[in-house]
Amino acid sequence: MAKGLAIVIVTLAVGAAIIIPFFHDMYKNPPPVTQIKTSNPAPTPAPEAGTTVISILQGASAQGNKAFDPDPAQVPVGNKVVWQNQDTIPHTATSGTGPDDANHGKIFDTGIINGGSKSKAMDLTGAKEGDTINYFCSVHPYMKGEIKVTAAQAGGATGGTAAGPTIKILQGASVQGSQPFDPAELTAKKGDKVSVTNEDTLPHTVTSGTGPSDSDSGKLFNTNIIEGGKTVTIDLANVSPGEYAYYCMVHPYMTGKMKVE
């Protein structure tokens, strides 16, 4: 046993004698595996002004799944529409209620959009304010969506939203004690379209009222669920001047105020 222990000690001593003189260089120049760096993916380019982007969602071809986002999409008169296929299989966006619609494809038809690709910018031929345009995927006809044509906006709109006042739902908004909305008190005008962007990773809403027990909850405005990273619009056309409280239906302790002039 003593002889074995002696062999181990001698082996360790020899190894140390080899490594120690070169330790400084090894520390300064670690093996390649320790130098691997991660890089963030390039950000998605912002849509051009006057273009509304609609996403074809991953898994859209599974019946029962949501196919398009936003749906319905609000598109100002004169805007072009681009469909971004986030799925891995090809789809189309074709105007009409389905393949049996005699007028299908007359307003627009993107043709095949491969997975990870986007369509050309499509005009809404003959569309006017107030129109509702149905569309579907000609590859999977049960995938259906709607476009609602709204008033023209100066400079166009993206993602179905219009230029104007903005509320940001801040990252970490659901943590009690943190600021949930920016600005905490928004000032807007009657008739404005307020963009609400969810910068958090969790779903939220912006719902008029002081909380779920408010009998008038949601009567003035209600975004419904906004998924993380998405933007929706609140239309103040029918909201009279005044000061209004709002909250998140998912996290009712998230509250804010809106002043309409």
Q: pLDDT value at position 14?
A: 57
Q: pLDDT value at position 18?
A: 55
Q: pLDDT value at position 163?
A: 47
User: Model confidence over 43-101: pLDDT tens digits?
Assistant: 444 445 578 899 999 999 999 999 999 999 998 888 889 999 999 999 999 999 999 99
pTM of this prediction exceeds 0.85? no
Q: pLDDT value at position 17?
A: 58
Q: pLDDT value at position 10?
A: 58
Does domain 166-260 sit in CATH 2.60.40.420? yes
Nearest CA-CA partner of 226 in 178, 162, 159: 159
Residue ranges, CATH 2.60.40.420, the chain: 47-159, 166-260
Helix (H) / strand (E) element for 84: namely: strand 80-85
CA 167, CA 174: separation in Å to the nearest integer? 16
Backbone angles phi, psi at 32, to 5 degrees: -55, -35
> Parallel, antiparallel, or unpaired: how do β-strands 193-198 and 166-169 relate?
parallel
Q: pLDDT value at position 88?
A: 94
CA 93, CA 137: separation in Å to the nearest integer? 5
**What is the fold, at CATH topology level, of the domain defined by 47-159?**
Immunoglobulin-like (2.60.40)
Q: What is the DSSP string of 10-58?
A: HHHHHHHHHHGGGHHHHHHS--GGGG----PPPPPPPPPTTEEEEEE-T
Q: Using 50 as the pLDDT threshold, list the residues of the chain that sit under it.
A: 23, 26-47, 154-163
Torsion sign, CA atoms 59, 61, 63, 69: positive
Q: Which two tokens stand for residue 238?
A: 């029918």
Q: pLDDT value at position 51?
A: 82
CA 216, CA 202: separation in Å to the nearest integer? 25
Q: Give the SS3 label for residue 8.
A: helix
